[in-house]
Structure 1
Amino acid sequence: MKKIKNLLCFLPFLLIFLLAACQNTEEEQTVRLAEVTRSLFYAPQYIALEKDFFKDEGLNVELQTTWGGDKTMTSLLSGGADIALVGSETSIYVYGQNPKDYAVNFAQLTQTDGTFLVAKSPKSDFKWEDVKGESFLGQRKGGMPQMVGEYVLKQHQIDPHNDLTLLQNVDFGNIPSAFVSGDSEYVQLFEPTASVFEKEGKGHVIASFGEESGKVPYTVFMAKQSYLNENTETAKKFTRAIYKAQQWVENHSSDEIAELIQDYFEDVELDILISSIDRYKSQNSFATTPILEKEAWETLKDIMDAAGELPKEAPYKDLVNTEIAEEVMDE
């Protein structure tokens, strides 16, 4: 009899616990996030995951790396992902194909190009005209790194297709090794590879494409129109978490950031992570707010147009949603 009484006393607490557990399960929403590559450039995203900013919003974010703009957009448009972190130029390419449910940019993560000009030999007095007549190992045709690279060269009155030998036949993942084993004097590299090359004596960082090209919506979170229409509150929660992470990155040191996201880059030494993050922070590559500004969007279109890659007019009002970010920041 005593055991029954004890059980009866315990049942209300058990019921409360089960109800709370069910409520939490119902409230948590899964968001499938596809990132175009695993990059130190996306540090604020990893901060949002590590600091549980998404979980604080009731979101269970499942991160997948889709390795390439084409694969990332295919995953997004086919329903394999809810949100994609990818170069904003991909949304313009999709829009140019006249789809009924195209991708809309709603939260910006990085606001400059993330590549650096690396030379095989030291060049303490480097001038951009020095690349004339040299072999330059570039990035994939139509991708943002390559288009920004060409844009910067043209800004310095250098024709990338006539004034130098531009190589674009190497896959993104093989560019670093191709530079080391090949004859090219120059290459365009992201961090932390650029810093690793410096440390190992394989190359020397002599210029920043991010500093040269200025603000551009380089990497952006986007989703299909239908997803944003049907999941506005989810998108708002997602953006709120990203904004918290952006502010956290802005207000903390490179050392603190590197230590927190080190598990995402197990093959990179901590000192390289720190110096790479510091280099990005010093040139303001990490956006401090999720708002994609119209001026930066117009710069993006100028860059694409100069590269001959702008398929059609890409209206800011159609391809960019700032309402979600603005609401989050006004809270």
Structure 2
Amino acid sequence: MNNRRKVSLILLTLVLSFSLIFMGCGSTEKVSDNKDLKTVRLNEVVRSIFYAPQYVAINEGIFADEGIDIKLQTGWGGDKSMTALVSNTADIGLIGSETSVYVVKQGSNEKIINFAQLTQTDGSFLVSRNNIPNFKFSDLKGKEIVGGRRGGIPQMVMEYTLNKNGITPNKDVDIIQNIAFDATTGAFKGGTGDFIQLFEPNASKLEKENNGYVVASFGTEAGKLAYTVFMATESYLKDNPETVQKFTNAVYKGQIWCANHTAEEIANSIKSFFPEDDLDIIIKAVNRYKEQESWAPNPLVQKEAIERLQDVMIKGGELDTKIPFEQIVNNSFAEKTIKEIPLP
């Protein structure tokens, strides 16, 4: 075989390989009759079953029926997703609402506004290396937890929960915070830490592999919070009110869909976003989130939930005074959505 033909075959193989990769990572969105779609660049902070209503709204054709074509990006970190928003490489972000507070505190000229809430609890779980049938938070004393980055809401909720249960972070228990979010599971499997804070499906995957055991839910322990919210720059909301309204409508319909379908049905709908995970893992993770009511029933950003989140930030030492609700929240789109879209 001559060199030119070898090169051609190699290039063809690479093209086919990349095509298969992107086919596996994409959605299986149902085709809509609406051909005049408005593109929205959506940046999610991580890829997690925690965001199931969003994936349902994509794969069930709900966004498309509203006239929106979602171009989904995954930031793998609140700081990265926020950077995408402020640099105009994303139109809307699905991020922890604490990031909008940080932007205001930093004195940015462009405010980031929360306009539609997706989740109302923390979505992470405490996973132990060893099976502890009757786990108590006192079992953490003298141990190490692989946690999240300092200043992120998962880390602050963990510390809030520990303090609530009489455990002083980095005194009674060491928290490892210098590992990248997408590398923590591998580090834990490699022997780092006695416990780890994980979202789904990673928590259930460790259990299936007998590499870990879920012993507590931070969502259950910490209660209702304005946890993960759709947000955009103030100027984007002002310049694109019709698009934002349709986007919010789709979010609500995705929330309603999840509320009225079984874990198995939800898992089958979102499976394409988790091509490497077995269906039983996805079903188990969906069940966990449904049982602890992690998904908000509607997109309205609750004032009490924002206040509570800022309480967590203050107790975590990341905030000195609260930002007024009206500076970081615009509920007009959610209010209109709830008024005009009837429940089934």
- With the length of structure 1 as denominator, give the TM-score of the two structures: 0.90
Query: Unaligned regions of 5+ residues in structure 1, if any?
Result: 1-23
Alignment partner, residue 284 of structure 1? 293
Instruction: State whether structure 2 residue 128 is matched by structure 1 residue 134.
Output: no
1:259 to 264, 268, 272: 268
Instruction: State whether structure 2 residue 326 is matched by structure 1 residue 322.
Output: no
Which structure is larger by alpha-carbon Rg, 1 or 2? 1
Stretch moving more, 305-314 or 228-237: 305-314
CA distance in 2, matches of 1:156, 1:25: 52
CA distance in 2, matches of 1:26, 1:114: 36
Instruction: Give the match's secondary structure for 1:223.
Output: strand
Question: 1:40–1:191: 8 Å Cα contact kept in structure 2?
Answer: yes
Equivalent residue letter for 2:219: G
Alignment partner, residue 300 of structure 1? 309
Instruction: Give the match's secondary structure for 2:186.
Output: helix
Question: 2:145–2:175: 8 Å Cα contact kept in structure 1?
Answer: yes
Alignment partner, residue 3 of structure 1? none
Superposed CA deviations along residues 29-80 of structure 1, whole A, max 9, x for unmatched, are 2211111121111111111111111111111221112222112111111111
C-alpha spacing 1:91/1:257, structure 2 compared with 1 (3 Å)? same
Q: How many residues align?
A: 308
Equivalent residue letter for 2:142: G
Equivalent residue letter for 1:199: K
CA distance in 1, matches of 2:320, 2:68: 36
- With the length of structure 2 as denominator, give the TM-score of the two structures: 0.87
Q: After TM superposition, list the pairs within 5 Å mapping 1:214-229 onto structure 2.
A: 214-229=223-238
Alignment partner, residue 201 of structure 1? 210
CA distance in 2, matches of 1:52, 1:311: 43
C-alpha spacing 1:206/1:289, structure 2 compared with 1 (3 Å)? same
Superposed CA deviations along residues 66-122 of structure 1, whole A, max 9, x for unmatched, are 222112111111111111111111111111111122100000111110111111111
Q: After TM superposition, list the pairs within 5 Å mapping 1:156-195 onto structure 2.
A: 156-195=165-204
Instruction: Give the match's secondary structure for 1:123.
Output: coil
Alignment partner, residue 47 of structure 2? 38
Alignment partner, residue 6 of structure 1? none
Stretch moving more, 170-179 or 207-216: 170-179
Question: 2:76–2:182: 8 Å Cα contact kept in structure 1?
Answer: no
| Aligned-residue offset at 1:25 | 8.9
Alignment partner, residue 8 of structure 1? none
Equivalent residue letter for 1:257: I
2:82 to 63, 73, 77: 73
Instruction: Give the match's secondary structure for 1:149.
Output: helix
Question: 1:96–1:311: 8 Å Cα contact kept in structure 2?
Answer: no
Percent identity of paired positions between Structure 1 and Structure 2: 50
| Aligned-residue offset at 1:27 | 4.7
Question: 1:93–1:311: 8 Å Cα contact kept in structure 2?
Answer: no
Alignment partner, residue 63 of structure 1? 72
Instruction: Give the match's secondary structure for 1:221.
Output: strand
Question: 1:255–1:274: 8 Å Cα contact kept in structure 2?
Answer: yes
C-alpha spacing 1:51/1:130, structure 2 compared with 1 (3 Å)? same
Q: After TM superposition, list the pairs within 5 Å mapping 1:46-125 onto structure 2.
A: 46-125=55-134
Equivalent residue letter for 1:198: E
CA distance in 1, matches of 2:115, 2:211: 39
CA distance in 2, matches of 1:62, 1:120: 37
Equivalent residue letter for 1:297: I
Equivalent residue letter for 2:181: F
| Aligned-residue offset at 1:206 | 0.7
Alignment partner, residue 152 of structure 2? 143
CA distance in 2, matches of 1:48, 1:101: 29
Moved over 3 A (4+): 24-27
CA distance in 2, matches of 1:199, 1:28: 41
Question: 1:259–1:270: 8 Å Cα contact kept in structure 2?
Answer: yes
